[in-house]
Amino acid sequence: MRTVLFVVAGNVNEFNDWCSKSRKEDRYTGSNFIYVVNSDTLRGQENPDGICIGTWKDREDIYDIIQFLHIAARDIKKQKGISNLSSEVDAYRKKRMEKKDIWIDG
């Protein structure tokens, strides 16, 4: 039986690179990989399996994607895992902002 794995990547190039490497791994044998272009990719899905790779935290639409994943998740364990994604993005972005130099022009 083929399984569908939704892949949230920073961009399509990361997705393609990951797919070419992952197809050789036994745990992904028989899997169909679908790149999550935007949250609409997940519309109508129920309890989707997926993975976040690369620079996924930098996506401007990541919170929309996480929201769709959370709504589509049917088991509590998966919902908790998806909720943790938002916290992970928040922490990552906060840390990144702390390292930025801020210039104030007058």
The per-residue pLDDT string of the chain (106 residues; one tens digit each, 9 = 90 and over) reads: 568 999 999 999 999 999 999 888 888 888 999 999 999 999 999 999 999 999 999 999 999 999 999 999 998 999 899 999 999 999 998 888 776 666 666 5
Domain count, the chain: 1
Domain that holds residue 19: 3-99
Whether 106 maps to a domain, the answer reads no
Q: Which residues pair with 8 in a beta bridge?
A: 52
Residue 77, domain member (yes or no):
yes
HEC string for 50-106 = EEEECCHHHCCCHHHHHHHHHHHCCCHHHHHHHHHHHHHHHHHHHHHHHHCCCCCCC
Residue 53 located in a structural domain: yes
The answer to whether residues 39 and 66 touch, using CB atoms and an 8 Å cutoff, is no
Residue 104 in any domain: the answer is no
pTM, two decimal places: 0.84
Q: How far is CA 32 from CA 5, 49, 92, in A?
A: 6, 11, 29
Q: Is residue 48 part of a domain?
A: yes
